[in-house]
Amino acid sequence: MTSCTVVRHLDDASFDAVMRIYEDSIKAPARKTEATLKYAFSDPDYILVLSRDGGILTGFAGLILLDREERLWLFDYMAVAPNARSRGIGSALFGTAMKAIEQRSPRPVCLLEVDVPVPGQPTYRDDIARMRFYARLDCVRIDGLQYLFPLRVPGASPPPPMCLLVHGMDRTNSVAKERLRLWLARVYTKVYYMRNDDPRIQAMVQPLTEPVDLVPIDAS
């Protein structure tokens, strides 16, 4: 029986188990260092959810509060152990995580960084499955945004094409460009320790229409 719980502190054994799942699930260009993850997990604005089955760690999810006034969060990571996939653990982690942030931010808005499925790539099927998963959870896509992943890992290949999904905007179908710029700046500064005037932020926002449409995920 899988159980999902919010944790405030990870002992060494649990952190090591999280790292094993993290390294199995997160592509190298998007991986943070162990020290960076430990620092993030210790942030009081970070919520960590673990799933266990019979005492064995099967997955984790991490979310960070980006802006209190905006009630804006980033779904930083969600990963399930390879031998525990296709058992509903991802949905359970997502549901537990959303309930946790709703206790701190009524009607939260949550961003998700997701790889764009590219036909012919080895990860295409997994990327399509991930998009379908988030579509079932009522996430939407920021139309036209070519998301520039902030992190650059020395020695790793460039990040794949990415998009930004949104959960919690069910009462509207668009977002103002200036508000989107604020969202991107919060991700860059709070999560990746970049400058809030990083030129990539303007490069992402400038080509978009005003307002920016929020559209259903096409994962056909």
Question: For position 156, what pLDDT does the model report?
Answer: 67
Model confidence at 187: pLDDT above 70: yes
Using pLDDT thresholds of 50, 70 and 90, give the confidence band for residue 55. Answer: confident
Model confidence at 76: pLDDT above 80: yes
Question: For position 141, what pLDDT does the model report?
Answer: 97
Residue closest to 2 by CA, chosen among 41, 49, 37, 47 = 49
- In this structure, the number of other CB atoms found within 10 A of the CB of residue 1 comes to 5
Question: For position 218, what pLDDT does the model report?
Answer: 85
Question: For position 54, what pLDDT does the model report?
Answer: 87
**Rounded Cα distance, 61 and 22, in Å:** 10
- Give the relative orientation of helices 34-41 and 12-25 as an angle to the nearest 10 degrees: 120
**Rounded Cα distance, 179 and 50, in Å:** 32
Token output for 2: 């899988």
Residue of 72 and 84 predicted with greater confidence: 72
Using pLDDT thresholds of 50, 70 and 90, give the confidence band for residue 101. Answer: very high
Summarize pLDDT for 122-146 with one digit per residue, the tens.
889 989 999 999 999 999 999 999 9
Counting runs of H as helices and runs of E as strands, what totals does the chain give? 6, 9
Give whichever of 1-10, 28-37, 198-207 has the largest mean pLDDT: 198-207
Model confidence at 13: pLDDT above 70: yes
Question: For position 63, what pLDDT does the model report?
Answer: 96
Model confidence at 174: pLDDT above 90: yes
Residue of 220 and 205 predicted with greater confidence: 205
**Rounded Cα distance, 128 and 118, in Å:** 9
Note the Cα 96 to chain centre separation in Å.
15
**Rounded Cα distance, 53 and 30, in Å:** 27
Cβ atoms of residues 105 and 65 within 8 Å: yes
Summarize pLDDT for 149-171 with one digit per residue, the tens.
998 767 667 778 999 999 998 77
Task: Give me the mean pLDDT over the 173-181 stretch.
Answer: 97
Distances (CA, A) of 56 to 18, 79, 84, 107, 185: 11, 15, 10, 33, 37
Q: Where are the domains of the chain?
A: 2-216
**Which residues are CB-contacts of 2 (< 8 A; sequence separation ≥ 6)?**
51, 52, 53, 58, 87, 88, 89, 92
Using pLDDT thresholds of 50, 70 and 90, give the confidence band for residue 201. Answer: very high
Residue of 18 and 2 predicted with greater confidence: 18
Q: What CATH number belongs to 2-216?
A: 3.40.630.30
User: For the whole model, what pTM was predicted?
Assistant: 0.91
Residue closest to 156 by CA, chosen among 3, 5, 23 = 23
Note the Cα 50 to chain centre separation in Å.
15
Write down the mean pLDDT value for the chain. 91
